[in-house]
Structure 1
Amino acid sequence: MATNFIQPGQVLTLTAPAGGVTSGVGYLIGALFVVALQDAAEGAAFEGQCTGVWELPKTSAQAWTEGVEVYWNGNAATTASTDNTFIGHAAAAAANPSSHGLVRLSA
């Protein structure tokens, strides 16, 4: 039996970045995208969910199809890859315009 297993990894304890974190909001910690599971002040430990399907703010002027690659632009999910970080795939179609979309995170 392996002795070096630490944890499943769907939820990680991380350090809140500048400005802290708000529960339910997405954040890039380095290149890792997580959704904060509770509020935390800057520098405090918080739990970040790395997997699952989340309703996230999206670029309103985009229409998404199921399975399209989704990126994070620092404030919202987008299908534009340039200068953005890959976070997962659309779990459902989203209309143009719409303020939110369903994203399956790819940890």
Structure 2
Amino acid sequence: MKNKVQEGDVITVVAPYNVTAGDGVQVGAAIFGVACHDAVSGAPLELSLEGVYDIKTLSTDTPAQGAILYWDNTAKQLTTTASTNIKAGVATVAKVAGATVTTALINCIR
């Protein structure tokens, strides 16, 4: 196909803030992915848009397996609260209270 640019599982974006490899990152109003490497704000950043990752999550949230997860771009973590947050994926295993990460399949829903 002549008009295909790339596969799309990893894209290059401009880092919207300083990030560390493995951090969840929101770009604009609708792009969510996981940083493939460290980057400072304004630098090119490879962002993984699919896969299963352990991602920082609100410690008081206890999503069940299959629960929809949202990205809280203010706190820079996953949450079960929709509010003004964007959909980021689903929990692949239940998270216990107090845990700081959720294993999540990202970008499987929109």
TM-score, normalization by structure 2: 0.88
| Number of residue equivalences | 105
Correspondence for 2:19 among 3, 21, 31? 21
Distance 1:40 1:59 in 2: 23
- Structure 1 Cα separation of the partners of residues 87 and 95 of structure 2: 18
Question: How is 1:1-107 mapped onto 2 (pairs within 5 angstroms)?
Answer: 2-18=1-17, 20-30=18-28, 31-74=30-73, 75-106=76-107
| Structure number with larger C-alpha Rg | 1
Q: Distance in 1 between matches of 2:58 and 2:13?
A: 27
Q: Say if 2:56 and 2:100, in contact at 8 Å, map to a contact too.
A: yes
Letter in 2 for 1:59: L
Secondary structure of the residue that 1:86 maps to in structure 2?
strand
Q: Which runs of 5+ in 1 are unaligned?
A: none
**Which residues of structure 2 form unaligned runs of 5+?**
none
Partner amino acid for 1:84? N
Percent identity over the alignment is: 31
- Whole-angstrom distance in 1 between the partners of 2:99 and 2:41: 31
What is the alpha-carbon distance in structure 1 between the residues aligned to residue 83 and residue 62 of structure 2? 17
Give distance in 2, aligned partners of 1:98 and 1:9. Answer: 31
Deviation string 1:30-72 (CA, Å, 9 cap, x unpaired) is 1201111111222111111110001011111121111110001
TM score, norm. by length of structure 1 = 0.90
